[in-house]
Amino acid sequence: MAQPVVSEEQATPRAYDIEKIRRDFPILKRDVASGAKLVYLDNAATSQRPVQVIAEITRFYRDHNANIHRGVHTLSQEATGLYEGVREQTRAFLNAPDAREIVFTSGTTESINLVAHGWARKFLQPGDEIVTSELEHHSNIVPWQMLRDELGIKLKFIPMLADGTLDLEAARELMGPKTKLLAISSMSNALGSIIPLEELIPLAKEQGAIVLLDAAQAVPHLPVDVQALGADFVAFSAHKMLGPTGVGVLWGRFELLDAMDPFMGGGDMILTVTKESSTWAEVPAKLEAGTPNIAGVVGFGAALKYLDELGMDQVRAHELDLTRYAMARLGDVPGVTIYGPSEAEDRGGVISFSLEDVHPHDIGQVLDDHGVAIRAGHHCAQPVMAALEVPATARASFYIYNTRDEVDSLVSAVEATSRMFGTS
């Protein structure tokens, strides 16, 4: 994944007005637990929403609510215009060639399953191979296992190394003439590891394979240009990038989307229907059956505008500063083990850690008593936990509104946890 070069001095640009940003997120003013001020560090699971997104959803329901693509009346035309306008916004955000390549789904999971059902089931044969990795979220493993069992294809995993990176030598050996699909994350949700796509994608292309990226963690945090990446499908979710839940995106090369079978049948995805047969609408309509989450998509447009105005290079720089600072501070706490790449530049704003002799769920509970919200568990990435030989980790993840003071609160709460459990 392409990243801007950021020096120590430029880690958080002067133009990045963190106080102004934080004022846009009312939930950050909340008190939680025993009156403690909320420190929200569970952004890899879902981000918070600014007032601009909340207002846009309210405005849609208040002023424009109607179904899309079907009506000639004013409200339907307005709703359709708003919905399709966000398709164009998304195209521009990704630098995609054609707005028709943007398919709205319910989230990354549906986007990946859409490729599994609409493309892979149609074009893969017994003996064909799909390559993925041990770093994947379950959403980029389970659909391929189901397809393997149904079609008789083979599923191979690029091993994870001890430092939370992928074994690229093993990847070269795994990919061959039978490799038809590389399904790989852009960034690990469990460890924050940034995947070297500039090396993996060419390996797959040398074998004539299609490349699908689970970019749920990358698109919210890094500049992403789908044309520069050279991938064929990119899947991500709105709710991890300031938008509503229940909205996702699948970008795909037009010729691939056009060749796919529909995932679901129903309204708005057909051209003609008779009692004997049906024909499909053009892309993307044929892949968007039924009434979508119209208000959610419209709200996602406000989220895209917010991030565009902020600048994804600035988002990355801010998170890099926080991650570097947090790794240094947490690394000084006795008994803390940080998992994943040792350099902040090699990871996103995610720190997965453990505290000696304390279960991650206990860490999460004590931190919540201090107002610090993190995630504790296997993070829907059990193969990662198996490779680390741990049952779970505690995970702190940062976004545009987090501060160094909040990192200090995290560290203080971890130190309190250590004292409570008598960690050496």
Please give the full DSSP string across 282-322, using - where no structure is assigned: PTTGGG--S---HHHHHHHHHHHHHHHHH-HHHHHHHHHHH
Rounded to whole angstroms, the Cα distance separating 66 from 76 reads: 5
Query: Cα dist. 38→363, 370, 409 in Å?
Result: 16, 8, 10
Single out the residue of 217, 318, 319, 317 nearest to residue 1, CA to CA.
217
- The residues annotated as belonging to the active site are 380
User: Does residue 248 sit in helix, strand or coil?
Assistant: strand
Please give the full DSSP string across 21-89, using - where no structure is assigned: HHHT-GGGG-EETTTEEPEE-BTTT-----HHHHHHHHHIIIII---SSS--SHHHHHHHHHHHHHHHH
Identify whether the C-beta of residue 239 lies closer than 8 Å to the C-beta of residue 108.
Answer: no
H helix or E strand, kind and range, residue 408: helix 404-421
- Taking each continuous run of H as one helix and of E as one strand, the counts in the chain are 15, 17
What 8-state DSSP symbol labels residue 195? Answer: P
Q: Where on the phi/psi map is residue 242: left (φ > 0), alpha (ψ -120 to 50), or beta?
A: left
User: Does residue 353 sit in helix, strand or coil?
Assistant: strand
Strands 248-252 and 36-37: unpaired
User: Does residue 114 sit in helix, strand or coil?
Assistant: helix
